[in-house]
Amino acid sequence: MKRNPTLNGLLRHFSLTLQLNFRSPQALIYGYLVPVFFLLAFGSVFRADTPPLLNQMGQLLTISLLGGACFGLPTALVAERERGVWRRYRLLPVPTGSLVLGTLLARLVIVGTAVALQIFLARVIYGTPLPLHPAQTVAAFLCVALPFLGLGLLVAALADDVPAVQALGQCLFLPMIMIGGVGVPLVILPLWAQRVAGFMPGRYAVDVLQRCFTDPQGLPGAGFSLFALVVIGAAAGVAGSMLFRWDAGRRMNRSALGWVAVALLAWLAVGLTAAATGRLLTVALPVAAYESITDEQADQITYEDLPGDNEIVSRLAPPFLPAGEAPFVDEFSAKLAAWPPGRDPSPGQSVRHLLSVAAIADISEDIHEGEIARIVFDKLQTRHKHTELRRILAWVILHPGEGTVITQAPELGLRRHPPESVVRERSALYARKYLGRLLGKIHD
């Protein structure tokens, strides 16, 4: 320690903190088991999405980071302070900042490995795609984790004991989960909650992380969100450092309120800036693409060049006999009725997914390809109104590259995995056959 006591003390304390955390069952449960629980909970709700969980990864990772910051870090700090550990640390010939920094770095490693575990398990269990921008994901993680750790440091400074940590942590955690755009997507929150979320860091954390998974641009489009996180995190970190307590017997005085005000003013400043720059405009569910299709566009679709229903491509069986006389039809209809992608909440996507089933069976030359195509047509007519189905089918025909399609459905007995481009092509063919029958231009 003679050569560089500060660095040596930082590394030793960092190593010790990690060892203590990995030896603690409670730390392992909060650090790793709880994030996995949230992953499975989100997966059970959003597994029907295609791909599953892709559009919720920003929320999911933010919850893990928020939990590690608001509960994990302050709980460990306050528990050590209550046991007199930090009072003994003060006797060491190491600067205070090095010891606090070692604790923060250890917590950063813990939440970082928890986030990596979630991404890995989401991929393995649900097939969720990996981030579009891996390097930017690491940068986004640091940009979110460091401000949240600053909030955790402030919670630890304000809490007198571990139960107080839980209470203060919930004051941060629950509002961001419920109305801050973290647990509940912004688009389904009421208008007042969407505006309030603009004053909370959770909204900006979700934005930064989600861009790394789904935005082709990545972080370059997240300038304001990064700014908001830096401002809120810096204010909380400075306030937490100034109020840091070595001894459990030392109580807060009135001057502490000034530093708390500094941290809260950062939230207010971010929210007011967002309002002044138009970033608190309400978020609405996007208008479905098929709704822009006009009757004139649908009427311009032609059917003369379609393959016949009994030809090799896009086979289609005639209307079925009364139920009970075709065992395969009844069995496959029941499977298709329970098939999650076919019940997508977006009508346009639901139709595309069902068309994909007919396309996969046709490409695979399934022995029942014609019957499967007819089952899909019957299912579409049952689930959608005539005018809605007409627009959706026209959208599939006019814009075959939009939306998402399914390329494999082993749960329906379709084992082949044809290329996406071919599935889209056959889906458009079946959409023309179905639309022609809906409009009376093709007769069964």
- pLDDT for position 231: 96
Please state which of the ranges 304-313, 317-326, 344-353 shows the lowest mean pLDDT. 317-326
Share of the chain above pLDDT 70, in %: 95
Q: Assess whether pLDDT exceeds 70 at residue 328.
A: yes
Name the phi and psi angles at 414, rounded to 5: -100, 105
Q: Assess whether pLDDT exceeds 50 at residue 254.
A: yes
On whether the CB atoms of residues 33 and 62 are closer than 8 A, the answer is no
- pLDDT for position 5: 64
Give pLDDT tens digits for 166-192.
899 889 889 999 999 898 888 788 888
Report the candidate in 126, 254, 279 with the shortest Cα–Cα distance to residue 194: 279
Q: Assess whether pLDDT exceeds 70 at residue 223.
A: yes
Residue length of the chain: 444
Q: What is the dihedral of CA 116, 121, 124, 127, to 10 degrees?
A: -90
**What predicted TM-score, i.e. pTM, was given to this entire model?**
0.66
On whether the CB atoms of residues 217 and 211 are closer than 8 A, the answer is yes
Q: Residues 374-391: what's their mean pLDDT?
A: 93
Please state which of the ranges 181-185, 236-240, 321-325 shows the lowest mean pLDDT. 321-325
Q: Residues 343-371: what's their mean pLDDT?
A: 92
- Count Cα atoms within 13 angstroms, Cβ side, for 59: 22
Residue 386 CB burial class (10 angstroms; 0-12, 13-18, ≥19):
exposed
pLDDT band at 3 (very low <50, low <70, confident <90, very high): low
Q: Assess whether pLDDT exceeds 60 at residue 305.
A: yes
Give pLDDT tens digits for 72-95.
888 888 888 888 888 887 777 777
**What's the CA angle centered on 181, arms 274 and 342, to 5 degrees?**
130
Q: Residues 221-235: what's their mean pLDDT?
A: 94
pLDDT band at 284 (very low <50, low <70, confident <90, very high): low
- pLDDT for position 86: 80
Q: Residues 185-210: what's their mean pLDDT?
A: 91
